[in-house]
Structure 1
Amino acid sequence: MQLYVASWLGANEFYSYMTDFSKNIVNQRFGLIYDELTKSNKIKGKSDLADKLETYNHVINNVLKGDRSLTVKQINLLVEHFDINANFVFGCSEQLYNSDSDEIPTHSLAEKIIQGRNNITLVPDKASAGYALAVDSKEYLEQFKRFSVPGLEGPLLAFEISGDSMLPHITNGDLVICEALERNQMPRDNGVYVVVTDTVVTKRIRRIKDSDSNQVVGLELLSDNEVYRPYQVDLEEIRQILKVKARLTAHGLA
């Protein structure tokens, strides 16, 4: 399965981030690559590049303007068609072309991701029930595969999504990459989190406060898919809360 990388989903940050990709290093480097390909006559313009990347002219325009990001498929095609150094795309190198080096070119983006620091532990859907029981066990996590994604630092966990409760923002089969909150750290309203009780679910949350003390006593878990009704969990039931920092998806951005 080929994956697309989409960083997003922090509380109220989701909508603002999805409308401004200009700070994304991949978009910034894409602008430099586009200028270089144009100056060197390797492309005749946006339409020509769009054809090479198997997309549309308006998509290239939107990426250059910072209104959307490239999919992994488009980055792979960019690397393969023009011998672009994938490390340059992710800001890890100043060498634009693979041919400028004696190094053996690696055109697989999946390989570029796997060759990183491996700071992200993947918990597959079938193992999520076990994770709920062994949430504090480092030994339990050691059995799982690890990988890395440029721009995502520190110890992180990735959970495989099963179901359609978070459509349209998270799709069945996606991976959500998360950072665990500290025990005394409360999530923010409207943020998307992985909440671990006796199960592992990915939901948008709303804090429930006691009317007398104004203290948070539980969370209301909401699905983005309106077919599913919200439900509540008490704080005593919650074993861990993880903030969703990014998702990996096999579906391109709309």
Structure 2
Amino acid sequence: MNNVVSQRFIKCHNKLREEKRVRSSRAFAISLDYLPQSLSEILKGRRDVTVELLRKAIDKYKMNPVYLMTGDGPMFMTEESNQSFRVLTTIQTPNDDELIVHVPLPAHSAYAAELGDPSFVQGLPTFGLPDYKYKVGTHRSFDVPGDSMEPTLFEGDKVVCSFLEPTLWESGIKDNYAYVVVTRSDVVVRRVKNLIAESKELELVADNTFYQSYRVSLSDLREIWYVRARITPFLPSPQNIQRYVHEEMIGLKETIAQQGKMINRLSAAIDRLGQP
């Protein structure tokens, strides 16, 4: 028996047949550049639908990916919902293992602007990791832009992330965890405060206190990726770590000394006010 996604795909196929939007299963398969014999195996429950076939069916017949993945919503997308929906393109090995697609910094703007053009994603570098957790689900890696997440993440670092389905944004986004947030115009790495239930927004917070937090509306969001790991080219030596801690201690002592002077001045001012 095939999985629930395949079962929903079959229901969508049958609906297309009933409404005579396709003449036959063979015509349906050919329109998706898929072998009719392989489609027949899916329809008979002998194999599961592939990610690539799902992507083509979503593009061609506007099958609703939310329905396919969760069972919620209509089987097919309306033109209005299709304008804002982004089809996620994946890359697989000949053994059907999904690879991690890397989005380098120069490609961030184009990645945010793209509406799911498969050729763009297929042109990006890919790689695999041996850990089993990266074999399940869809993953991307992104270059960290700028210094907004220092000292946690540095420019030049790469973050490996797992895809968060839009249907899980409201319940699955955890406050103060790091995410890659893809909007209509940018790709940013931030800690997130989930305000979707309250105001249909996310508040994005930088670890670098120089940057102010800001909010992004739900309608401006394209993709959200949960940061699971960091790949960094930097390996600080013990001497550098000791120097960093020493500098931090000096800065802390100076701050305490300044606060002590302020308290003394404030105390003297209060004493003068209390004199007759």
TM-score, normalised with respect to structure 1: 0.49
Who wins on radius of gyration, i.e. which is larger?
2
Which structure shows the bigger proportion of residues in helix conformation?
2
TM-score, normalised with respect to structure 2: 0.46
